[in-house]
Amino acid sequence: MLPPILLLALVVYGLDVWEKKWQHYPSPYNAAIFRQTAAGWERVPNAPEDPTILAISTSGVVWTRGDAIACLKGGSWRTWSPAELGAKTVSYGSFAIDGDEVWVTTSDTVLHWDGRRWKSYPDAVRDGLPTSLVAAGGRAWAINASGKLSLFENGEWRVQSAKLPEPGDDDSPNLAITSDGTLWLVQNGVWRWDHARWSPVQALGADLKYFSVLGATRDDLWLWSGDKLRRLSTDETVETFTRADLGLSKREWPHHVVSAGASTWFATTAGILQFDGKSWRRITPPNGLKRIRTLQIAPDGTIWALGYIPNPHYRELQFLTFALPLVLAIAVIATPIWAYRRHKRQRLSHYQHLRAAVEHGTGQTPEELHLREQEVARQTTWRGTVAVLSVIFGALIAYGIVHRFWPAAPTWTYLAFALALHLIIGFWQSAVRPTPKPNDPIEPDSAFRYDWSRTWKVFPGSLVVFMLLNRETARFLDDHLHWFLYAYGAVLWHKALAIQFMLNRIRRGDYEGGLKVIRLAWYLRPNSPTALRLRAVALLFAGRYRESEESVRRAIAKFRGRSEQAQALETLGDALLEQGRYDEAQRSYEAAIRAVPGYRRPYRGMAEILLRQRRHPERALELIENVAGPSRSIRASLINGKLQDDYWSLKAWALAQLGRGPEAEQAAAAAIRVINLKSGIDIANVHRRVGLAMDALGNRKRALEYFQRASEADPRGRYGTLARAESVTTSHVS
């Protein structure tokens, strides 16, 4: 999956570049600043870094904020970059002027210009970036998303309130301050600070709950709701103006307000409005200026406007606004399709490889494995790919249509559409006529029966997702996530500990105890493939080979992972080996290696087949060298384990059959030296093989001693039984 993941990352990076770096390419509009003089509007030299905010101090200094902070003084701009200010970025946040002092909030600090230099106050934002900041009379107030209100006074910040009076639907509480020093909060209503707490504003006959603040002018707070403009006075009286009163079109709205004398000016998306207290009129904006963002009144009474003008160079690369989004959109759609099909083709190759290995080892293909391969094959087709990805894109399209007619539609409705499509596709894929089998009963309605098995598999997952969509469930999960992590860890540890307990019992020769551990640990799923394979291993070491074969064959039919399948095939080979079915055992070992190339353990059984038959010891020696060879893959290295005692004991046996006595003696000594003395089956297996090596060298006495030691270490199991039988054979030969 690495190539599709890298491609998807590249597409995401392209989208990021499109979103964040587009300003480095010609854009349709450039920021521009104008001021109104007696002769008309005059263009001011461009401020650096495309400003988004314009403000004017009491002394007439013009300040702007964009990707940097700049001031216009004496006809030239002075710029401070974020690095010079010690901030990560200054392109967003609040901007406030109090006399000649300037306040700026950033993502990691609050900056203050005292008229001579900048000073940083990182402690003011340690609990989150302030969403709003205002300043007046030498003091400043800041509030963050959680409602923590802080006051700057006498050179330090102090917390005034730690929570919002009433949580809102968004995370952007906004502050405003009027000329009388009244501090206002706008979020889910309007609130007034009385120096100790927030008091709700109860305007007679006016609902202020869903209004946003445009700004404060003298004794008035101006609010906008999308179709109404309201003026809230300090005496809490409200005056309402409609779009018709203002002369606004449906696509025009105000977003900034300033006042001077008896007049108030509003910057709108299409121009400038002036209100003299009784009537509204439009002011002709600067020629070509669009989307006026900010208006300010200088001390000399001139009006300053920040807006956007057409970029003359944009036409040269205008095609990029169409071509780049189109290319990225195609990439966004094509990448998941390609990645999904590639992943499914890899899965199909995996199942084909696994089926071939199992078929080689067992002579047949389990029906469950065959059906799974067919299912994956269907998913690799265009039809299967479209069916899966239609859940994603279909839900997006449905959500877009709903959002078009219901702008307030919650985002979780997208997941609801995805769930619905998931269920529909599940039913659709289930509505197929099952292939009749020879042993199926003949029923009158058998031709109209359908296979609903896939649909029932869809319901549990869909139900879980539906529960997660519920806010209460999500909040519960958020508060108790650590318990779910503990539970997941407990499940993993349960499985690991159960396997360890089983192996400890088997190593001590307590085979019934090992089987009991398996029954208890997998009580709810006794026929799971893992439980069946572990049971087969316990039965194998107990010497119950036929039962072991039956159990592991059932596991092979259910396993889907290559590692688990390889281990099961090896166990099957061991069970067949002990029944004397050498050809079948050989195929099982070969199949295990095919399932996971680099899996070394099956070479032990392949070598033992030759050594037991006293055929081709030189070939057996070659196979034994593979036991200690490279794993070739991480999967193989994880399941190979330690094979030193097997390697040396088998090597001693093969060297003895080749008549290389001194080398066989050295290998036998090495095998004895690396035995796991805590494992009775390891002790028995190594001593049995060393005994066979001594027997091949003609040293019958030593062979019987090793057989006796093996029988004592594993008196009731596989290796002890084999050692006793081989001891009898050796005694008869002697």
pLDDT above 70 (res 457): no
* Dist CA 577 CA 583 (whole Å): 9
Determine contact, residues 683/675, Cβ cutoff 8 Å.
Answer: yes
With beta carbons less than 8 A apart as the criterion, state whether 101 and 152 touch.
no
Contacts (Cβ under 8 Å, ≥6 apart) of 35: 41, 42, 44, 298, 302, 303, 304, 305
Say if residues 257 and 214 touch (Cβ distance below 8 Å).
yes
Number of H helices, E strands in the chain: 23, 28
pLDDT on residue 458: 53
Q: Where are the domains of the chain?
A: 403-433+448-479
- Rounded to whole angstroms, the Cα distance separating 465 from 42 reads 59
- What pLDDT score does 700 carry? 92
pLDDT band at 73 (very low <50, low <70, confident <90, very high): confident
Give the pLDDT of residue 633: 63
Model confidence pLDDT, tens digit, residues 190-223: 999 988 888 888 876 677 888 889 999 888 999 9
Q: Is the pLDDT of residue 722 over 90?
A: yes
The answer to which of 264-278, 347-361, 537-551 has the lowest mean pLDDT is 347-361
The CA distance from 116 to 100, in Å, is 10
What pLDDT score was predicted for residue 498?
A: 87
pLDDT of 18 strictly over 70: no
Per-residue pLDDT of 384-403, as tens digits, reads: 676 666 776 777 788 778 87
CA-CA distance, 226 to 305, in Å (whole number)?
23
Alpha carbons 595 and 569: distance in angstroms, whole number:
9
- Per the structure block, which two tokens stand in for 73? 């003084």
Q: What confidence score (pLDDT) does residue 106 get?
A: 87
The dihedral built from the CA positions of residue 406, 417, 325 and 386, taken in this order, carries a sign that is negative
DSSP 597: T
Q: Which residue has the higher pLDDT, 514 or 461?
A: 514
Q: Strand, coil or helix: what is 584?
A: helix
- Whether the per-residue pLDDT at 459 is higher than 60: the answer is no
pLDDT at 133 over 80: yes
Looking at the predicted structure, is the pLDDT value of residue 372 above 60?
yes
The predicted pLDDT at position 160 comes to: 86
Residue 236 clears pLDDT 90, i.e. is over it: no
DSSP string for residues in 681-704: HHHHHHHHHHHHHHHHTT-HHHHH
Q: 709 in helix, strand or coil?
A: helix
Least confident of 184-188, 412-416, 445-449, 658-662: 445-449
Tell me what the mean pLDDT of segment 416-432 comes to. 69
| Predicted TM-score (pTM) of this structure | 0.51
Contact 711, 718 (CB under 8 A): no
Contacts of 257 (CB under 8 A, 6+ apart): 214, 215, 217, 222, 264, 265, 266, 267, 295
Residue 449's pLDDT band, with cuts at 50, 70 and 90, is very low
Q: Residue type for 84, please?
A: E
Q: Which residue from 211, 207, 216 is spatially nearest to 234, judged by alpha carbons? A: 216
- Give the separation between CA 561 and CA 419, rounded to whole angstroms: 28
97: confidence class by pLDDT, cuts 50, 70, 90: very high
**Rounded average pLDDT over 29-55:** 85
Mean predicted confidence (pLDDT) in 485-496: 76
Report the candidate in 144, 127, 135, 79 with the shortest Cα–Cα distance to residue 104: 135
In terms of Cβ atoms closer than 10 Å to its own Cβ (0-12, 13-18, 19+), residue 622 is: middle
pLDDT band at 361 (very low <50, low <70, confident <90, very high): confident
DSSP, residue by residue, 411-460:
THHHHHHHHHHHHHHHHHHH-SPPPP-TTSPP-TTGGG----HHHHHHHH
Average pLDDT, the chain: 82
Segment 276-287, tens digit of pLDDT: 988 999 988 887
